[in-house]
Every structure is written in C-alpha cells, then in structure tokens.
Amino acid sequence: MKARRVKGLDPAMPLADALERIVRVRLDELCSLAPRALNPRKVEASHDLRIAAKRLRYILEVGAEPCFGPYAATAAKRAKALQDLLGELHDCDVQLPRVLALADELRAVDAREVRRLAGPADDLDPAKAAGTTHAEAFRGLQTLAVFLQARRALLFERFGELWTGLEREGFRGRLEYAIGERPAPSSPDAAGPVAYDALASTPGAP
C-alpha cells in the first residue's frame, strides 16, 4: 500500500512540527482504513491496516519522547500491538491458500493413481481410494488447514476487540492532542531544524 504524501514539510521547520505533520497524515491513514478491515472478508484491507500501523508506530518511536506529549509514547505501543496482531492474522491469510492448494494437488495426483489402478473396470471400487500414496500427507494438510482457519477466526475476533478498545480509549483524539504538545526543551538546540539525514535512516520513515 502506497503511503499518503505529507504536504507542507520544509527543511527549515522545527523537528517537532515536521513530525506532527507526518503523524497526523499517518494517523488519518490508519483510522480511514479500519472500517473496511473490520470486515472479515476484506483480507487485503487488514493487510493495508497492518502497514499503516507500522508506519505510524515507527514515526512515533522516533518522535514521541523528544517532541510530543506523554500519550504519544503510549500510542506507539498501541500501534505496535495492532501491527503485531495483524501480522499474525496476515500469516494465516498467506498460509491457508497455500496449504489448500497443496492438498488439492496431492488429491489430484492420488485420484489419477486410483483411476490407473481401476483399469478397464465398469465402475470404481471405493476400497481402491484408501491408502493412496499421499493419503497421510493429505490428512495432515487438512488438519493444518482447519487449524489456520480457526486461528484466523480467533485472531480476527481479537483484532475487533483491540480496535474497539482503542476507540473507547480515545486513541485518535488523545494522540492528536499529544502531538500538538511540546515538552520543555532540555537544551537551546532541542527544538532546532529537522535532522533529515537521521530521519531518513530510520526504518519505516516517510
């Protein structure tokens, strides 16, 4: 998912002001994606939300303590929790189709084998379908598929609960307030221009 462009950045801006602009865009990006991601059939939406949470988390981890009010550090932890949970959910979404595809492939191979064993018979003896070459592997894959589908359902429920908790906590409003706060500078240079070289080297930097 392509990140939204952050407008109005200027190399002469104070670091806190620049990061505030970035966080506001990343926060809006996150919150606008959530309603679609809360639909269990919208698999790509939950993946996009995970990426948005990651972007918000990284920029908050850079700027929360030196630039913003106290809740910003809490919000970074909340974004990390959301990213981690959605990452586990995404793993299920990636693995399940692969497992099912492999099971289909093995079933097709065994079906061809059983058909060959039937020879010129008018009909197929059901006993010939037992004990095929990949029967045990197929059962294992079916068990794994059941596990992944059930785990996905459970993790999606946890995601819904986590997002509801963030809304009840006032996550968006409190973070918007926090990024407008400025801690007392510890030195005369604390609110100086943006260190763009350092920011650009940060993982997930915009």
Structure confidence by residue, pLDDT tens digits, 170-206: 999 999 999 999 987 665 554 444 444 445 445 555 5
> Is 131 a member of any domain?
yes
Query: What pLDDT was estimated at residue 197?
Result: 47
* Tokens 């995970």 -> residue: 50
Question: How many domains, in total, are found in the chain?
Answer: 1
Confidence of residue 155 (pLDDT cuts 50, 70, 90): very high
> Is residue 70's pLDDT more than 90?
yes
Confidence of residue 96 (pLDDT cuts 50, 70, 90): very high
DSSP annotation string for 161-197: HHHHHHHHHTHHHHHHHHTT--PPPSSTTTT-B--HH
Mean pLDDT of 76-82: 98
Query: What pLDDT was estimated at residue 74?
Result: 97
Other C-beta atoms closer than 10 Å to the C-beta of 83 total: 19
> Is 176 a member of any domain?
yes
> Hey, what are 90's tokens?
């995404």
Other C-beta atoms closer than 10 Å to the C-beta of 80 total: 17
> Is 73 a member of any domain?
yes
> Is 141 a member of any domain?
yes
> Is 183 a member of any domain?
yes
> Is 7 a member of any domain?
no
Task: Print the domain residue range for 23.
Answer: 15-200
> Is 205 a member of any domain?
no
Higher local confidence (pLDDT), 21 or 203: 21
Structure confidence by residue, pLDDT tens digits, 111-136: 998 888 888 888 888 887 888 888 88
Query: What pLDDT was estimated at residue 181?
Result: 94
> Is 206 a member of any domain?
no
Structure confidence by residue, pLDDT tens digits, 25-65: 999 999 999 999 999 999 999 999 999 999 999 999 999 99
Higher local confidence (pLDDT), 185 or 165: 165
